[in-house]
Structures are given as structure tokens and as C-alpha cells.
Amino acid sequence: MNNRNYTLLTAMLGIVLGVLATLVVVKFTDSRKKFDGDYNRWRKLNLILQEVERNYVDTIDKKSMTDAAVIAALSKLDPHTVYLPPVQLEASETELAGNFEGIGIQFNVPNDTAIVLSVIPGGPSEKAGLLQGDRILKVDTAVIAGNKTPQDSMVARMKGPAGTKVGITVRRDGTDIPFEITRGKIPVHCVDAAFMINDTTGYIRLSKFTRTTYFEFSGAVDKLLSEGMTRLIFDLRDNTGGYFDQAFLVCNEFLGKGDQIVYMEGLHRPRQDFEADGSGKLKDIALDVLINESSASSSEIFAGAIQDNDRGVIVGRRSFGKGLVQEPVNFTDGSGIRLTVSRFYTPSGRCIQKPYSDDYAYDIYERYAHGEMTDADSMKVDKSREYYTKGGRVVYGGGGIIPDVFVPMDTTKASGFFIEANRKSLQVRFASAMFDRYRRTLASIDDFDSLSRYLDALDLRTKFLDYAAKEGVVLKKNEVPDFDTYMMPQIRALVGRYSKLEDEAFYRFYLEIDETIKVALKTTGL
């Protein structure tokens, strides 16, 4: 075919296709659906979905389309109004319920194999005979050791409805042992540690506000009061929040009758104020509250109430800035939405919620980039309006709770040795190896002073440096001071965690290098 004929054919084909396209457009134009411009009744959305259902070329999946439409619609609202499919909703509710259904162990994965860190007393695994230090090889018939099985997949296989059975095969002292375990309800504790730092100062670390928070907190407080506590360092760093009523109850322990804790307000929700009733048993206890950039929601409500009532000192870095009231709307198919209906305000009137922005999801990274983690002057503070505490102190808004005493993140200790050891998870792997070697004695220690003396006698410093050298990580002379003062307490904390003291041992050893706690101990009130 010559070029002239080819060009002519192409032109004719273009005309035909153009006519066809025109005919299609005309057909749909002639059958336009009436839309009166009223968006208040969601009519346009319904019209579109009806047309898809009636005319789409292939079979449609109404479930996935509905979910996609809901997700797309909610994405136009605030970042925390979300749709949760059944699996995600169940996981979200389980995290805050104070218990879950499973086999009752804690484990870590230092060398591509899950190692039992602790067996929950009275739980299904303890009754079946699992022991601290067991290597988990299989769950039912699925091999999970040595094949890079993701940790969340391991958890999913072990969890399950109470009353169901699961097979767990472990390796113990070179022998593979199968167990059949009947799953049950397992308590999840939110008080990670509670102990006396000195003769008068107690320390409580709270990981989240679950259904059992007030009950656990009260028990920890009673224990510390009996040991002479007159001052409390309350650690809410990395506490991402949870149930508001639990934060309210904990706040109530520290404040006097009529002291405002928080108020909430929204377009369709009139202002609602929450005040302390004066029945708390900690009103005369000196208080320091530790927060950081990962302290959010209910932990910010607590910190804001304490700060605005001049009840204690807030120490650390600016909190996350999540101050939205989420109302659950659950559906019979197991899914649900978390709908923002109000905002939280501190007693002085500050809105806890930080402003929405295009880079909202990356706000924490932006804080690093702009130097806020290391320089108090780099914090985003809205000074266009002043707020006043109960005692008349000026505080500022802009999202989150700004601490009374700023503690920068210490990045000076990150030597080459430290970075390489972290990259290879040498500290965690070494702790596991030490437990294997000294299990019988280590697992029986339940007193901190005895544990500290025992670890001193083990000469962990020499053993760890030898262990690291075999992995190709060698300490340089100029790195020795930082290793001794910064890394060794971490190593002792990780090894000590294998004792009966568990997390308490970890946090007590870690105090040695915790600059925020050191600063809190030096504060003398407002």
C-alpha cells in the first residue's frame, strides 16, 4: 500500500471513529439524568452509583466499590476520620480493650526465630508448659523460624478465639517439643513499670489508656505510696492515647474539686465541660509529667489539664497534637468508622489538635528536619494569642502541649559503633544469648539490687565487645567513653529484662541514660 492510500485510510478511519464517538456522546447526552444541584441529599453520588450498577460493562463488586467510595469520601474530612474494615476494627478495639485472645506469651525475634521472652502467669502457655527462652519453630504446620516470617504474621497465627486449639512446636535445649495449647483471654497491661527512683520519688510509665488503665494505675499508686512516695514522675512518652474516660479518672486523682480537666465542642455537639470532683488521693503529691512528640490524644488531655491548673511540671518535647473526639459508628458486618464529632480544648482554651496540612502525615519528620527535636526555639508556637493558666502563667497554642521544661533529643551519642550495632540488632541478640547461657539463675532473680550485682559479676562489657567483634563490629578508642556511659546501660537493661522483674528491670537500668528523667528530678516545681 503506497503512502497516499495509507494516509487516506487513516483519515477515513479517524472519521469513522469520530462518528462513533459522537454517536455515543449524543446517546448519553440525550439521556442525561436530572440533577438539581442540591448536594445536601447526596443525590449526585446516588445517581452515579445507580448508573454504574445499571450500565457498567462488566460485573461489579458492590462491596469493594462501597468501601472504596466510603474511603474516598472520608478522605476529604480530617486525617483521623477513617473507615475500618472488619479486621482493622477488631485489631483497633483489641489494642485498647485491656485483653486479647491468644496463647499468653511475649516474644522477640533477634535472629529470625521467635524466642519466648516471658510467659504470662496463669495463661494458656504456662498451663501447657512453655518456658521463657523456648524457640518457636512452628505454629500448627506452618514453619515460622528461619524463613523471615514477619512478626505480625507470627502474632496472627498464634492469636485466635478463646477455646480454640493451636499447635506450637518449640526447640528447648536442642530438642523439638510439640505442645497443644487452648487459647484463652489474655490481660494486656498498660502500666509498663512502677517503682521508687529514690526514697521519696516514684516512677510510673503508662503505655496507653486502655479499659483497665485506672485500675492498674491505682494499684501502682497504692504500692508506691506504701513505699514512701511524696513525688511522682509520670511518664507518658510515646503514649498514643486511648479512652478519654480513663484519662479523666487519672486526672481526677491529682486535681481539686471544681478544677476543669478539659472541654469538648463541635458543630453538632454543644460544649461539654469536665471537672474534677476532689476525691483524688494524689492531690498533695508533687508531679512531673514526661511527654514527647509521640504523646497523643488522652495523654495530651492529661498533660494539658495538669499544666493549665498549675498542678505539675510538664517536661520533654512538644506533644503530637491530636485533640479530636472520635465517635465509633459500627456496622453489623464487623466494619465501622471513627467519626470526628468534636475537638478537645484545655482548661485555658487551647485547642489540642494541630492544624491540618498537606504534609500532616509527615509532621514528625518535619519537626526533625526543622530542628525542633534539638532546639526549643525551633518549636512551632502560635504566639498570636496568649492563654493563661489558673495561676496566671502565659501558655501558647498551635497544636499539642508545649512543655514547661524542654529536653532536647540527644544525638551526640550515635557513634559509628552504636549505629552499626543497632543495624545488626547486636544488643537484642546478645541479650538473648546471655539468657540462653545463664537462664537458670537469671530467670529466678526477682530483686533489682540482686540483679544488678549478678550482671556486674557477669562482666557483660567484655562479653558484648567479644560478641560484636565476631560480627565484624569493633569499638574504636575514641568511642569508648560513649559506649561505657550510653550503650552499657542499654545492654544491662536488655539482659535484665529476662529476669522476673521483666520491664521494671529494663526501665530501672535505662534511667541511667534517660536525660528527660534526669531533668525532671532536678525540677523544683513551678
Identify the CATH homologous superfamily for domain 99-187: PDZ domain (2.30.42.10)
**Average pLDDT of every residue of the chain:** 87
pLDDT by position in tens, the chain (length 526): 554 444 444 444 443 434 344 344 434 444 555 555 666 677 888 888 889 999 999 999 998 998 999 999 999 999 999 998 887 887 777 666 666 788 988 888 877 889 888 887 778 888 888 888 889 999 998 999 988 888 888 888 898 888 899 999 999 888 899 999 989 887 778 999 999 999 999 999 999 999 899 999 999 999 999 999 999 999 999 999 989 999 999 999 999 999 999 999 999 999 999 999 999 999 999 999 999 999 999 999 999 999 999 999 999 999 999 999 988 899 998 899 999 999 999 999 999 999 888 778 788 888 888 888 888 888 878 888 899 999 999 999 989 999 999 999 887 778 899 999 988 889 988 998 898 899 889 989 999 999 999 999 999 999 999 999 999 999 999 999 999 999 999 999 999 988 989 889 999 999 989 999 999 999 876 6
Strand-strand pairing, 405-406 and 313-316 = parallel
CB of 337 closer than 8 Å to CB of 74: yes
Compute the C-alpha angle 432/434/439, nearest 5°.
95
Instruction: Pull the grid cell for residue 442.
Output: 537469671
Helix (H, G, I), strand (E, B) or coil at 275: strand
The sign one gets for the Cα dihedral 308, 311, 313, 319 is negative
Bridge partners (DSSP) of residue 139 are 142, 168
Instruction: Pull the grid cell for residue 88.
Output: 482493622
Task: Burial-class residue 67 by CB neighbours within 10 Å (0-12, 13-18, 19+).
Answer: middle
Tell me the per-residue pLDDT of 217-273, one tens digit each, with 9 for 90 and over: 999 999 999 999 999 999 999 999 989 999 999 999 999 999 999 999 999 999 999
Task: Cite the residue boundaries of each domain of the chain with CATH code 2.30.42.10.
Answer: 99-187
What gap in Å lies between CA 161 and CA 172, rounded to an integer? 27
CB of 317 closer than 8 Å to CB of 373: yes
Tell me the per-residue pLDDT of 125-173, one tens digit each, with 9 for 90 and over: 888 888 888 899 999 989 999 888 888 888 888 988 888 999 999 998 8
Bridge partners (DSSP) of residue 193 are 205
Phi then psi for 498, rounded to 5 degrees? -80, -5
Q: What local confidence, expressed as pLDDT, does residue 39 receive? A: 65
What gap in Å lies between CA 430 and CA 469, rounded to an integer? 12
What gap in Å lies between CA 78 and CA 55, rounded to an integer? 34
Identify the CATH homologous superfamily for domain 191-406: 2-enoyl-CoA Hydratase; Chain A, domain 1 (3.90.226.10)
What single DSSP character describes residue 479? G
CB of 378 closer than 8 Å to CB of 366: no
CA distance between the termini of the chain: 93
Task: Burial-class residue 157 by CB neighbours within 10 Å (0-12, 13-18, 19+).
Answer: middle
Task: Cite the residue boundaries of each domain of the chain with CATH code 3.90.226.10.
Answer: 191-406
Bridge partners (DSSP) of residue 329 are 337
